Structure 1
C-alpha cells in the first residue's frame, strides 16, 4: 500500500471511530424482550449490583432514579436493544445509545459513561415521561415495573407541601399481594440498594404510580390505579388514605389474603431498613464534614445528608405499626393485648441498629424519636443526631 492509500485508509478508519455509538441496537423491544427483562431483574438486579467489587457494574453511583435507569441500560446493552430517555434540560428523549460522545473509549467504558450522563440529566421527573401507568394486574405489576413519585415543580410543591421524588424497582410480588422493591436514595453514591415491602406514600400525580418503560411495544396508558381508594392528584393524603390505596393495589394482585403476622412483619422490616439507612446517612454526613476540615458542606449537600424525609417515614411506619396493633387487638383473640405499639416492643427490640451509641434497637430508638431527641440536621455530629448529646454541648460543623 502506497503512502497516499495508507493515509486515506487511516482517515477513513478515524472517521468511523469518531462515529462509534455507545452500543449498536440490533434488536427491538417486544413483549418477549420485556419478559426477558423481568426475568433478568429477578436473577441479576440484586442489592449489591453496584456495591460488590465482584460485580461487573461495581462502582456506579446512584440515587433512586439513577438505579432504575441504570438497570434498564445494562439489560439493553447486554441484549443489543435501543434506549431513549428524556433529557431534563430540554424534556426531549435525546439520551440514546446512538450518542457518539465517547467514541475513542472501549465499549464497556462508553456504557459506563452513558450511565453517568443519564444519571446527571434525568430524575424522577423525567422518569414519568419515559414510562406509562399500567393496569393493576400481575401481567404488568411484576419484576422490572416501577413505583414512582415524581419530583414536583416549585409551584406544585407549594400546593402539596412536599417535593416528592422517589422511585423503586419491583423485584417480587408475593402471593399475599405485598410488593418487594429495591431502591437507592440520596445523596448519589456507590451503595447497597435498600429493600422494602412497605410503601410510605401514594403517587402525587398521574406521572407517578406503578409504571413500565415506554416503548413501541408497551400498552396504552391505563389509569385504573388513579381511580382507587379516593386517590386525588396533588393532595395531602393521610396515613389511612395511603394505606387504603396500597391495600387496594394488594387486593388486585394477591392470590390469598395476608395474615396479621405477615402484615406486622412487613412494617417491622421497613422500620429496620429505615434505621439502617439513617445510620449510613449520618455517618456519610459527618465524614463529609471531616473531609472538609470541619467545614459545613454546601446547602445542597446538607439537604441531601439530612434525614428529615427519612425520619418522617420512620414516624409514619411506627404509626402504621400502632394501627396494626390496635386492629390486631380488636379483630383477633390475643391474650393480654394492649392494642397499641407497646404490643410490638419485643419484635422491635429484636431489630438491632448499629448506631454506635447506647440506643441500638428499634424500640429504644422509637422512644428517643417520640421524645424529640433525634436530630435530622446534617450540620451536627452523630452523637447529637442520635440523641446522645444535646445541641448545647454537641459538636457542629462551621
Structure 2
C-alpha cells in the first residue's frame, strides 16, 4: 500500500544525502585519528595531485588540483575525511561564529566526486595560513602528538605552512608542502627532511598569540572556541629558547642518533633541493616579464618573487655550515667520509672563519669539479654547482625581485637593474651573515 508520508520522508532523506558534499556516517575518535596519521604516513605523497592514475589503475580523482601551502594542509584533512565518511568542519573566516563543512549543499546537482573537488577549490579560495589558527591548536612536544597529520605554521609575517608526513626515527620531520603557485606551476608538491629555521617560523611573535609552530587539528566541537580550551593544548614549544628550539624538539622526538655522515648527507640534500626547486619558480617570473613589460602590482609581485624561498635555501646552507663547524669542533671531522669532506670544503672553503669573512674571501668556483654537489643547469646552457650558488647568495648577488632579468635573479650581475629601480618592490630579502 502506498504511504505518502513514508514516500515524502524517503524523498527528503535522499535529497539531503545528495545535497551534502558527502555524507558522514562515522565520527572522529582516537582510532580514526590513528588511522588518519597512518594514512598520511603512507599515502600523502608529493605526486598526490599530479599522478593521473592510482596504483590500482583507477583514475586519480584529485588529479590537476593546484594548491599552495595552506591548500595542501587543508587537503590532507579533507581528503581523508571524505574517503572515510568523517565530518570536516572549519571556522568560516568570512563570518564570525559560523562554520564551513561537508554538509554544504551548493553543488548538489553534481556527482559526489565533483562535489568534493568543488568543495576543495572553495576551501582553497576561502582559507589561507591566516585561517589555519582557527582550525588547529598548539601541541605538546612528544611522538604521540607531533606525528603524521600534524603541521607546522609560521607567523603571519611569513605566511607559510607544512604538513608533517612523518617524524623520522632521528627526530626530524618529513614535510610535504607547496609554495605560492603561478599560472604555469605544475601539480606536484615538495618535500624536505629537516626542521625549518625557527627564527623564520616564529619571526615577529614567539608566543602562543603568534600561532606559529607545531599544531594539531581541533575537534569540531572546539571550533569557534578559545584555543586554550582544546584538549591537549600546550604552550611547551614557546618555553624553549629559540636558539635551541630545533635541537630540543629533535632530541625529544628522536629514537636514535644520526651519524655525522648521515646528518651532513641529509643537510646537503636539503640545500640541493632548495636550490633546484628555485629554478622553476624563477622561470615562471622570467616568463611573465617576457610577456608583460609593465611593473607588477603587489599580488603579481608576490606570486613571482622568491624572498621566502631564498631565505629557506640560505637557512639550509647555514644549518649545514653550523653542523660542519660543530663536527669539526667535537671530533675534527674524523667520522666523515673523504668524499663528503671534499664537498663541504668546496662549499665552505673558509669554514673556520665567520660566514661574512668566508663570503668576502670566496672567489668564483671556476666550474664543476669532482667535489661538486648538485650540479644543475639553471639557465639554458649554464650550469653551476651548490658551491657557486652559495658563493653568489652569500655575496648578496642572488635577487628575489621578479622585475629582474635572469642574470640578476641568478647573481651573474649585481642588481638592482634599471627596470627594478623603476618599479615598486616589496619584501626584499638579502642574507644577514651573522656567524
Question: What TM-score, normalized by structure 1, do the two folds share?
Answer: 0.82
Q: 2:66, 2:181 within 8 Å by CA — same for their partners in 1?
A: no
Q: 1:130, 1:214 within 8 Å by CA — same for their partners in 2?
A: yes
**What corresponds to 1:222 in structure 2?**
234
**What corresponds to 1:110 in structure 2?**
115
Q: 1:342, CA displacement in angstroms?
A: 2.6
Count of aligned positions: 366
- The alignment status of 1:34 with 2:24, answered yes or no, reads no
- The alignment status of 1:193 with 2:205, answered yes or no, reads no
Q: In the TM superposition, what are the counterparts of 1:69-108 in structure 2 within 5 Å?
A: 69-90=74-95, 92-108=97-113
SS at match of 1:182: strand
SS at match of 2:35: helix
- The alignment status of 1:61 with 2:66, answered yes or no, reads yes
Q: 1:84, CA displacement in angstroms?
A: 1.1
**What corresponds to 1:327 in structure 2?**
326
Q: 1:19, CA displacement in angstroms?
A: 6.7
**What corresponds to 1:288 in structure 2?**
288
CA pair 367-168 structure 1, distance change in 2 beyond 3 A: same
**What RMSD over aligned residues (CA atoms) do the two structures have, in Å?**
3.2
- The alignment status of 1:379 with 2:403, answered yes or no, reads yes
**What corresponds to 2:166 in structure 1?**
172
Q: 1:30, CA displacement in angstroms?
A: 0.4
Q: 1:136, CA displacement in angstroms?
A: 1.1
Q: 1:191, CA displacement in angstroms?
A: 3.1
Q: 1:18, CA displacement in angstroms?
A: 10
Runs of 4+ in 1 over 6 A off after TM superposition: 335-340, 343-348, 392-398
Q: 1:84, 1:93 within 8 Å by CA — same for their partners in 2?
A: no
Q: 1:86, CA displacement in angstroms?
A: 2.2
**What corresponds to 2:149 in structure 1?**
144
Q: 1:245, CA displacement in angstroms?
A: 0.2
CA pair 311-28 structure 1, distance change in 2 beyond 3 A: same
- The alignment status of 1:341 with 2:345, answered yes or no, reads no
Structure 2: segments with no counterpart, 5+ residues: 54-59, 222-229, 352-364, 424-435
CA pair 93-72 structure 1, distance change in 2 beyond 3 A: farther
Q: 2:89, 2:220 within 8 Å by CA — same for their partners in 1?
A: no
* Counterpart-to-counterpart distance in 1, 2:218 and 2:27: 13
* Counterpart-to-counterpart distance in 1, 2:231 and 2:76: 21
Q: 2:138, 2:216 within 8 Å by CA — same for their partners in 1?
A: yes
* Counterpart-to-counterpart distance in 1, 2:179 and 2:96: 23
SS at match of 1:372: coil
Per-residue CA shift, 1:97-149, capped at 9, x if unaligned? 01111111111111111111111111112111211222211111111111111
* Counterpart-to-counterpart distance in 2, 1:347 and 1:139: 44
Structure 1: segments with no counterpart, 5+ residues: 152-162, 232-240
* Counterpart-to-counterpart distance in 2, 1:144 and 1:347: 41
Q: In the TM superposition, what are the counterparts of 1:244-263 in structure 2 within 5 Å?
A: 244-263=244-263
* Counterpart-to-counterpart distance in 2, 1:187 and 1:56: 21
Q: 1:295, CA displacement in angstroms?
A: 4.0
SS at match of 1:129: helix
- The alignment status of 1:363 with 2:390, answered yes or no, reads no
Q: 1:21, 1:99 within 8 Å by CA — same for their partners in 2?
A: yes
* Counterpart-to-counterpart distance in 1, 2:281 and 2:137: 32
Q: 2:404, 2:417 within 8 Å by CA — same for their partners in 1?
A: no
